[in-house]
Amino acid sequence: MKKTIVLVTGGSRGIGRSICLSLAEHGCTILFTYLSNESKAQELRDEINQMGRGEAYGYRCDMSQLPEVLDLAKRIKRDVGYLDAIVNNAGIVGDGKPFLFATDEHWWHVIRTNVGSVTNTCRVLLPMMISRKAGRIINITSLSGQKGNAGQSAYSASKAAVVTFSRSLAKEVGRFGITVNCISPGLIDTDMTRDISNEYVANRLVWSPLKRKGGADEVANFVTYMICDAPGYIIGQELTIDGGLGVS
């Protein structure tokens, strides 16, 4: 059987790593990008290849830089020829400073990185899907983009922008058999969120019916379902996985 070929940006750590492992366990061929940590990328390649179910290709690429994404497309065509799905996961949170204390340069760096990583990937790689009249795109957003978080104005704004971009894109490419949706995690237990103060986490979890952080594997399983098993009639949606935090 033909394997599903999936590109996961920012795939070497955190939620992205869990997504790669879940999709590989499902038998997909995994292409993932990373920014700089070659050792983490090699660990992930080895782990997936040792599963014996799917292959893994790792590419160093700054997804916010269009020339690097154009080069990535050439390497993908050389190695596998086409894509069935894209998971746009690459992004940064920022320094956590209140808006009036954040430098203009840093604030816009977060916006350009998070929005640019998604738009560059779609601009360069969508033609590959359009030519085959099929494809699924999942953009990882955030509960912060729905609710807003103090100290994360740029991050929240960037994730909200990705949602409306995704809905617009879904309307443009649906006629080519391509679906575009977003998955919006809440407070997920990753190396990034482990640096958050215990007080902040406790205050957030007061509002959660489950009283715990989510697992990266829970997000990954959701993404795998959307890529491999979900009905093609789901399009232009932001699907939230947050342990009930967003209902408060």
Q: What domains are there in the chain, each with its CATH number?
A: 5-238 (3.40.50.720)
Give pLDDT, residue 52: 81
Give pLDDT, residue 41: 96
Distance CA 169, CA 122 (A): 9
Q: Catalogue the active-site residues.
A: 155
Distance CA 148, CA 158 (A): 11
Kindly give the pairing relationship between strand 29-34 and strand 56-60.
parallel
Give pLDDT, residue 150: 86
* pTM beyond 0.85, yes or no: yes
**Under-50 pLDDT residues of the chain:** none
Give pLDDT, residue 195: 64
Give pLDDT, residue 14: 94
| DSSP classification of residue 30 | E
| DSSP classification of residue 54 | S
How far apart, in Å, do the first and last CA atoms of the chain sit? 45
Give pLDDT, residue 247: 72
Query: Tokens 């617009």 label which residue?
Result: 168
